[in-house]
Amino acid sequence: MINKFISRTIKKKFIGGTIILISSLILIYILSSMYFINHFFFNTEVNGVNLSLKNYKDANEILKDEISKYNIEIIGRDKRNEIIKGEDIKIYYKEKDIGEEIKKYQNIFKWGLSLINKKDYYIEGIIDFDEEILLEKVSGLDIVNNNIIDPINVEFKYINGSYEINPEVYGNKINKNKFIKVLIDSIKSGRKTLDLDNELCYENPEYTMDCEIAIETNDLLNKYVKTKITYLFGENKEELNGDIISKWITINDDLSVTINEKYLKEYIARLSEKYNTVGIERDFKTSIGKSVKVKGGYYGWKINSIAEEKMLLENIKLGAVLEKEPIYTQKALYRDGDDIGNTYVEINITRQYLWFYKNGQLVTEGSIVSGDPRKGYSTALGTYMLNYKQKDAVLNGPGYEAKVTYWMPFNGNIGIHDASWRYSFGSNIYQNDGTHGCVNAPISLAKKIFDNIDSGTPVICYEE
């Protein structure tokens, strides 16, 4: 019973003591709050000057004194720091009722929060200086003028069959307009340091190696140079690969990729020059054993440059790996050698004689009559091909119409055909009574050719 009484007594004393303590603390806090009717809270700065616990009426003198000693340190890249002294730019303090300004924000009963929370106040218009002098100072700073390295975007280099990304260069070139604006704001707010990097005052590269567009560009470049196209020209091959394609690629300022079609066209033009055979000079061994040079005509291989350029561009964009023939406007029967092969019609204009070989075997031969040179109708020299053959055709020209049984054109409206109106062939007939350019043959000769010849067969016209 006694123990319970003692326990209750101790408990009452503890509760009573706690109430007295809390009440005392509240009273002390309230009495302390009265102090802050005319004083700044703990951890208070105004325009960069520490006014913690200072009386409002002393604020102007403190600010004036501190601002007169003001300097700002400019922190640049590569440990290139500069200091601008307030006295050099004629800095001064413009008096203002600072207490009244701060009272708007200080609730005296919340002073306790200032023990853990710092408050930086900026009051506009209390710090001023000569901006023209500041601009001159900025223009003379070492970090603005000397050893300037321009920023460089990420770059792409073609090495050993693929593209690699070269890192960007940040450099140290300052954006002067941005720097001046931030510097003026910093001085007016009383900041003691200005970190140019943190305030984004440098001109930085727009594209870095980690940005998405740089990675996409590198992937696209490598797709293009993985292209490998092997062009087939009979026994010969021409390989187009990344070593060539990389020289055609332009990487634009925005990292877009362009394939320079001028170089692509030049490449196809070189293939055409090397492998087109239409109209080239050929060394031809005649049936009488002589070798002659035959130039001109329409027989041979001819690349379709426009179509192949378009196809090549598509293949590069696909990163294609393939073997192919180019797209041709015209093909010959054979690719290698003189591309004539061993099936052809041989017409000797000088001797007025024709031979027709098929698979290396002489099928037929005989005298002919060719175009009349005196009238300007000489049969054109060169290597041609049979366009088609037609039976029972009617040939029309200036002042004539002729029915023929076997019509075999090889050069436009010039062709081989029978001529029932002629009673003799060969010799020098063509010089006095030649054709309008066609090759007249006896009907038996024309028939033999007609029955054995196919479209595309070479027709070689030459003079000794």
Residue among 280, 342, 286 at smallest CA distance from 464: 286
Residues belonging to the active site: 417, 438
Task: Check if the beta carbon of residue 137 is closer than 8 Å to that of residue 85.
Answer: no
One domain, residues 348 and 322: no
Give the C-alpha separation, 168 to 255, whole Å: 13
The verdict on residue 336 lying in a domain is: no
One domain, residues 307 and 348: no
The verdict on residue 29 lying in a domain is: no
Task: Quickly state the pLDDT bin for 64 (edges 50, 70, 90).
Answer: confident
* CA–CA distances in Å: residue 110 to residues 42, 74, 114, 427, 454: 11, 36, 8, 129, 109
The verdict on residue 4 lying in a domain is: no
Single-letter residue type at 253? D
One domain, residues 274 and 219: yes
pLDDT in tens, 2-17: 555 556 666 666 666 6
Domain CATH code at residue 238: 3.10.20.800
Query: Which pLDDT does position 37 carry in this prediction?
Result: 80
The verdict on residue 15 lying in a domain is: no
pTM: 0.76
Give the C-alpha separation, 167 to 216, whole Å: 15
Task: Quickly state the pLDDT bin for 42 (edges 50, 70, 90).
Answer: confident
Least confident of 4-13, 216-225, 455-464: 4-13
One domain, residues 320 and 372: no
Question: Would you tell me how many other CB atoms lie within 10 Å of the CB of residue 186?
Answer: 19
Sign for the CA dihedral angle at 306, 409, 374, 396 comes to: negative
Last residue of a domain, one of 161, 191, 210: 210
One domain, residues 218 and 152: no
Domain CATH code at residue 370: 2.40.440.10
Give the C-alpha separation, 408 to 390, whole Å: 7
The verdict on residue 272 lying in a domain is: yes
Q: What angle do CA 52, 58, 60 make, to 5 degrees?
A: 100
- DSSP strand E in 185-269: where? 193-195, 228-233, 236-240, 249-251, 257-259
The verdict on residue 229 lying in a domain is: yes
Task: Quickly state the pLDDT bin for 148 (edges 50, 70, 90).
Answer: very high
The verdict on residue 2 lying in a domain is: no
Number of domains in the chain: 3
Query: Which pLDDT does position 102 carry in this prediction?
Result: 79
One domain, residues 139 and 236: no
Last residue of a domain, one of 210, 243, 270: 210
Query: Which pLDDT does position 108 carry in this prediction?
Result: 75
Query: Which pLDDT does position 3 carry in this prediction?
Result: 57
One domain, residues 279 and 382: no
Last residue of a domain, one of 189, 210, 231: 210
The verdict on residue 17 lying in a domain is: no
One domain, residues 254 and 183: no
One domain, residues 202 and 222: no
One domain, residues 103 and 174: yes
Domain that holds residue 221: 213-285+293-330
One domain, residues 278 and 299: yes
One domain, residues 79 and 205: yes
Residue among 389, 385, 298, 406 at smallest CA distance from 343: 385
